[in-house]
Structure 1
Amino acid sequence: MSNEADAIVSAIIAKWCAGFATLDAAGLSSLYAKNAFFFGSNPRLYRGRDGVADYFNGLPRWRRPCAVFSEVRVAQSGPDLINVAASISFDLGGERPDLVVKMSWVIIREDGDWKIVNHHASSQAALI
């Protein structure tokens, strides 16, 4: 795990959390690659920046949403590829129970900037 990869991921996480706090679909989708795959909290696969924006625009308008990343693991898998695994705790302002998910991202260098090309959230509860 390189310090550079850690810094890249930390910056993306900070932007992602800030965007989630205001449910800024345009800001959040700008963090994703043109051909991104996105599995969020429902079974549908969203594709590309427009799909990511559709996902975030479709969420309930919680009053005080907050996302906190923990157990972040970063591995630079090539000069233009970073693998990330983490847990995310979502506090939705008491409007529903808090939600904790496992999340993985694949981040690539696209047009000179780092973008999420694959986002997958899943339940922390054992499935088998």
Structure 2
Amino acid sequence: MHEVLRRWKAAFDGHQPDSMAGLFTPDALFQGFGPTVLTGPDAVRGYYEAVPAGRRADVTVLHTYTVGEQVAGGFAAVTFGDAHGWEARVHLSLVLRRDDGDWRIRQYHVSRVDTEHSDLSR
């Protein structure tokens, strides 16, 4: 998880859509900020091509798990930002699959963190 997110952050910060797409499995499911669930590396590439250059991501891994030797997953806190003060805090959920000895993202989902509604028991 840590290595995949290190590569993801480097590709995101460097605005490298091809590198981003290469991190995903051919059958990947991707839910970013938009309302549509995307499928596969080509759709992921298109998503990241539309992200303005200069955006950065700060990533903190919160939890990881494994299921056997071929599947892993976890959660990370991510803060996206840019030099103009734009910022978005999210929780990122990943499911990873080992393909040909390399870990790739099989499922990607972001959920905005809204502190105003963080406690549903109120």
The TM-score normalised by the length of structure 1 is: 0.84
Amino acid across the alignment from 1:13: L
Residue 49 (structure 1) shift: 0.6
Which moved further from structure 2: 70-79 or 33-42? 70-79
How many residue pairs align between the two structures? 117
Identity %: 24
Partner of 1:99: 88
* Alignment of structure 1 residues 1-128 onto 2, 5 Å: 9-61=1-53, 64-94=54-84, 96-125=85-114, 126=117
Q: Give me the CA root mean square deviation.
A: 1.5
TM-score (norm 2): 0.88
Secondary structure of 1:114 counterpart: strand
Alpha-carbon distance, 1:100 to partner: 0.5
Q: Is the 8 A contact 2:30 2:38 kept in 1?
A: yes
Paired amino acid for 1:81: V
User: Structure 2 CA distance, aligned partners of 1:57 and 1:19?
Assistant: 12
Q: Return the alpha-carbon distance in structure 1 between the equivalents of residues 38 and 50 of structure 2.
A: 12
The unaligned stretches of length 5 or more in structure 2 are none
Write out the 4+ residue segments of structure 1 that deviate beyond 6 Å after TM superposition: none
The amino acid across from 2:32 in the alignment is: G
